[in-house]
Amino acid sequence: MSIVNSIRAQVPPIHPEGYPFIGGFALASLILFWIWTPLGWIGTLLTVWCALFFRDPVRVTPVREGIVVSPADGRVSMVVQALPPAELGLGDRPLPRISIFMSVFNCHVNRAPISGRIDRIAYRPGTFINAELDKASEDNERNSLVISSALGRIGVIQIAGLVARRIVSFVREGQTIGIGERFGLIRFGSRLDVFLPEGTNPLVSEGQTAIAGETILADFKGGDTGRSYRTN
């Protein structure tokens, strides 16, 4: 393998959603270089950060039936019992909820936690308080999905944060999606909540680092053997 190919293999691809932003940062950097060189270097660093933010690496996803994987990169900030938002239609009883906080340094491409049919997509405008706060689940702008599989229904909520101002969805209602496939992204720092069926035991704990499409959050079948994998 050549040196160029070796370097290329270590650099993750950029999601197309990021090209306008990276281009804008790069153009601003050129202008700043013209104004004052140190400002140009600051702009260059911000351009590199923007490119890293929109990275879209390949992930190796376990595909055994019953497994639920993380929809986001980040830190597991909460594992609690909570009432699901009314727009999900998941009932009025507390369900297991796993919250994953994404900082501005995490990859923000979101992936389906299970294979199934997207029964519902519901967007709700709101505020932009710190996504780590528990009340962000109720108050912040969010986009909710309900994915149905043969073993249960899962709610996935993209929540905008203090810096994030745009939730992007790549899917539509009625669409079938595979585990680990991309379904959206949130620009610049945010959180994802996953509501599991009643009685499901989460397999992660608060403070754990999650990797989208790879980290197993739960197992509907209660076992953890016989996995197979695929790349996405």
103 is catalytic: no
Pick the residue with more confidence: 162 or 229?
162
Pick the residue with more confidence: 173 or 131?
173
Q: For the whole model, what pTM was predicted?
A: 0.86
The identity of residue 75, as a single letter, is: R
Rounded CA separation 224/220 (Å): 10
Pick the residue with more confidence: 11 or 75?
75
Q: Phi first, then psi: what are they for 161, rounded to 5°? A: -115, -160
Percent of the chain with pLDDT over 90: 59
- Smallest Cα–Cα separation from 163: which of 137, 130, 132? 130
- Smallest Cα–Cα separation from 111: which of 171, 190, 188? 171
User: Does 59 have pLDDT greater than 80?
Assistant: yes
Give the range among 63-67, 190-194, 208-212 with minimum mean pLDDT: 63-67
The pLDDT, as a whole number, for residue 163 is: 58
The pLDDT, as a whole number, for residue 129 is: 55
pLDDT confidence of 137, banded at 50, 70, 90?
Answer: low
The residue from 29, 99, 115, 190 that is catalytic is: 190
- 152-208: pLDDT as tens digits: 899 999 988 665 557 888 999 999 999 999 999 887 668 899 999 999 999 999 999
- 23-58: pLDDT as tens digits: 999 999 999 999 999 999 999 999 998 888 889 999
Alpha helices in 36-134 (DSSP H): 37-53
Percent of the chain with pLDDT over 70: 83
